[in-house]
Structure 1
Amino acid sequence: MSLEFHLFNYGSYPDIPLNDEVENTSYIDLPNEHFDPVRGKWYLDSYLDTLVFGEKLGFDGIHTTTQMGGPVGMTPTANLTAAYLAAKTERIKIGTLGPILNVFQNPMRAAEEIALLDQLSGGRLIVGLPMGHGMNYHTAATMNPAFARERYWESHDLMRKAFTEPGPFEWQGEHFHVPYANLWPKPLQQPYPEVWIPAAGSKLTLEKCAEFHYTYQALFSPRRVLKRNVETFRQAAEKFGYTPGPDQVAAVVFIHVAETDAQARLEAEHHLLFLMQNINRSRQPDAFPPGHFSVESLRGFMTKGGYRDRDIGDMAFEEMMEEGWAIVGSPQTVVDRLGLLSDELGAGKLIHVADFGAMPNWLIRKSLTLMAEEVIPHFRGPGGKPVWAEDDLRTAPTHAEYGALRTEALSPPKARIPGLGVVDVRTAHVEELRKPLRA
């Protein structure tokens, strides 16, 4: 099966106490005295550098995330980071695993940022719309998490209407009243950019994802749970009259490649343990405040297995490998295990998590280079081109090319000159064209 390869890094601030040295976890209340601005800049530069490197290596997309109030990620808004990446790259797709809609007091603000980002990137944007975990709500403090799910979907519906219907229109909902919903600017991709829905297995989320033909992004879980969630997603799609293809399923996997299996473990094991013991770890009340998940979904997480059905910080390296949380090995080992994963899930897209929270830039680049040279070509056709290079080898369209694609404006810019009348301001600087259009 062919695969799209999308690169994702945490961008964490790793200089933090071990989990058993703090009162709660590093997610919410770790004092920010642990953050050194100079070291933070150093880590942030490495994070961004590695993502930009993904275009040179031929990944199909690079993705950034929204994390707030702690060292989990130094990007409190994925949209701002994506704008930087748009300026630093030319053709690769750029994904935002965020915005978290419930952080916005008005969903139209999220819609405006998405539209602007799509314009800035030249139509390369992929929008991830996560519900967000409970820690986001503690930090953002914009709403009662008991209403998170219904507020999220109302935000989604308003935003989608703004993308697909002319404005202004009035929106009167349960959580939002917008007298003049009027999207400016509009996205370059019409009617809106590609949407991915990250989900840990909520049945309602999977059904909504299927309803709108979005890509389901299967989040960190044991492989048996991922397989069950993908089946639920496909069953939901059947109810809406279609069978989703591999391009509608994206699997998230921690991957590290080295010269041999033993070398890969030597390089990655301690970083993977750091990630699970500190960055991904959180208490149940923090991750799932009351009402954040439906009773049915919460029961499923706790009884059927999932990424929060136990303390993931207690997992050993062998357990993570056996259950499919990560793939660590030689190029051939990674090829074999990726083949099994894509076949089992029917996934046509892979989100490759490369940094494990604290891995140094040089080691990430080493692993990614081996990935690009020795692994990715096995899952592509002759030539090994990423999706953004399949048509030709040109760079992104130039300003002149966009100029040639323009159609006549619905209303050209005009101004009234006293004693002359209304003129077209584009040509009024030329005397013979300085003619009134009307009084």
Structure 2
Amino acid sequence: MKFSYTHHMPYTGVGKADQDWPVPNKQFDTELGMKIFRAGIDNKVFAEECGFDWIGNNEHHMSPYGLMPNPNLIGACVAERTSKAMILQSGNIVPIVNPIRVAEEYAMLDMISGGRLVAGFMRGIPHEYIAYNVAPSESYGRMNEAIELIKKAWTEPEPFGWEGEHYQYRAVSIWPKPAQKPHPEIVMSASSDASARLAAEHKATMGVLRIQSYDTAHRSIDVYKEHARAHGWEPRSRNIILAMNCSIAPTKEEAMETLTGGYDYFFNVLGGGIRTAQKLVVQKTRYFGDKEDAERQMEKLQSHKQLTLEERMERGLVMCGTPDMAIEQITRLYEEFGHGITNLSIKIGNVPDEKVYQTLELLRDEVIPAVRHLGEEEGVAAAE
């Protein structure tokens, strides 16, 4: 079993809930912002010392939800201060940015890191398209074409032109090229049927980036596997990522108290404007080409307050408790889904940094060593 670590770098100084989007930046404090960036990068670097195999950086826009509109900058900082962990870029949101710029910056990151880039191609959440003035209904078309263009830019040894539906370039020949050949591993989200099919078509590792229910996670994995087989390849455990929020402490009560506070800030302060924007985009545009996918997303947006932390724990949707409880849950997840990579988010909302470090240290000392063997029969355990 391999472990991936995600730190969204949320802004922790929002004074009150704001249901509007974009969130007015009058509440942004420069000194606090600089502190968040320094602390977040330090924390990501520490995750490597705790045995994490991948360190993730993601992309969000015009929101205190996460302060990484360009995750490649953070990825470069982390790459420079680490030596073993893979640098997982769970941005870039390729449909809303220049794909040649993505190809170039990813190639730079792969060189700077010594061949440690894991290239995330994400579609983003609906409101990101409003931020960059891109039609949400074009997201799948732009996504698919951008990935094909980026892969060709990485691998084509001669200059080439591109005349696509969404992108046109007279001549492409990027410098540098990636260190990994033929190109870095690709990761794509699979939170909908269409996304799972697209990931399979591109032979990408799929991420169930948040488990909403075991049924929906199974559905995404099944669609991904079936579509991969239809395209002539067989996914292995290492091609499946499951992600969870995580809080570990010496006692269950302490872990729950920590995560309860973080969730309250995350859902009620940071999440209000994003939910408002997402509902409007999902209702008024064809961001989800599949009607069933759109209905499931709306149900998820409408139901975010329905589950208490206790209910999330009972359903296995969050990792919260003692180290022994975490070991039991990771084992149960592997037995249920057969995944090879567990992605954990610990800085949820305004969870204090000292609690984040406590969880990381308990993972390092007690949890990860106890479950590292899972998947060894398929060669997914981390190399010594």
1:125-204 alignment to 2 at 5 Å? 125-141=117-133, 143-201=134-192, 203-204=193-194
CA–CA separation in structure 2 for the residues paired with 1:225 and 1:255: 20
Give, in angstroms, the shift of residue 149 of structure 1.
1.4
- Does residue 199 of structure 2 align to residue 209 of structure 1? yes
**Quick one: which of 86, 95, 100 aligns to 1:93?**
86
Contact 1:83–1:120 (CA<8 Å) still a contact in 2? yes
Larger radius of gyration: 1
Give, in angstroms, the shift of residue 122 of structure 1.
0.5
Structure 2 residue aligned with 1:377: 369
- Does residue 69 of structure 2 align to residue 69 of structure 1? no
Give, in angstroms, the shift of residue 33 of structure 1.
0.7
CA–CA separation in structure 2 for the residues paired with 1:140 and 1:286: 16
CA–CA separation in structure 2 for the residues paired with 1:333 and 1:356: 19
Amino acid across the alignment from 1:97:
S
Give, in angstroms, the shift of residue 224 of structure 1.
2.4
* Structure showing the higher helix proportion among its residues: 2
CA–CA separation in structure 1 for the residues paired with 2:281 and 2:42: 30
Unaligned runs of 5+ in 1: 391-439
1:105-120 alignment to 2 at 5 Å? 106-120=98-112
- Change in CA separation of 1:43 and 1:286 when aligned onto 2, cut-off 3 Å: farther
- Change in CA separation of 1:274 and 1:319 when aligned onto 2, cut-off 3 Å: farther
- Does residue 270 of structure 2 align to residue 279 of structure 1? yes
Amino acid across the alignment from 1:312:
H
Structure 2 residue aligned with 1:6: 4
- Change in CA separation of 1:29 and 1:381 when aligned onto 2, cut-off 3 Å: closer
Amino acid across the alignment from 1:322:
E
Equivalent position SS for 1:312? coil
Equivalent position SS for 2:247? strand
Give, in angstroms, the shift of residue 331 of structure 1.
0.7
Unaligned runs of 5+ in 2: none
CA–CA separation in structure 1 for the residues paired with 2:11 and 2:297: 30
Equivalent position SS for 1:179? strand
- Does residue 344 of structure 2 align to residue 349 of structure 1? no
1:224-235 alignment to 2 at 5 Å? 224-235=215-226
Give, in angstroms, the shift of residue 369 of structure 1.
0.3
Give, in angstroms, the shift of residue 234 of structure 1.
1.4
Equivalent position SS for 1:187? coil
CA–CA separation in structure 1 for the residues paired with 2:175 and 2:194: 31
Amino acid across the alignment from 2:150:
M
TM-score (normalised: structure 1): 0.81
Structure 1 residue aligned with 2:293: 298
Equivalent position SS for 1:170? strand
Give the RMSD, CA atoms, in angstroms.
2.1
CA–CA separation in structure 1 for the residues paired with 2:290 and 2:185: 30
- Does residue 263 of structure 2 align to residue 263 of structure 1? no
Contact 1:199–1:206 (CA<8 Å) still a contact in 2? yes
- Does residue 335 of structure 2 align to residue 337 of structure 1? no
Provide the aligned length of Structure 1 versus Structure 2. 375
- Change in CA separation of 1:302 and 1:81 when aligned onto 2, cut-off 3 Å: closer
Structure 1 residue aligned with 2:30: 37
CA–CA separation in structure 1 for the residues paired with 2:233 and 2:147: 22
CA–CA separation in structure 2 for the residues paired with 1:51 and 1:387: 21
CA–CA separation in structure 2 for the residues paired with 1:279 and 1:129: 25
Amino acid across the alignment from 2:51:
G
- Change in CA separation of 1:276 and 1:340 when aligned onto 2, cut-off 3 Å: farther
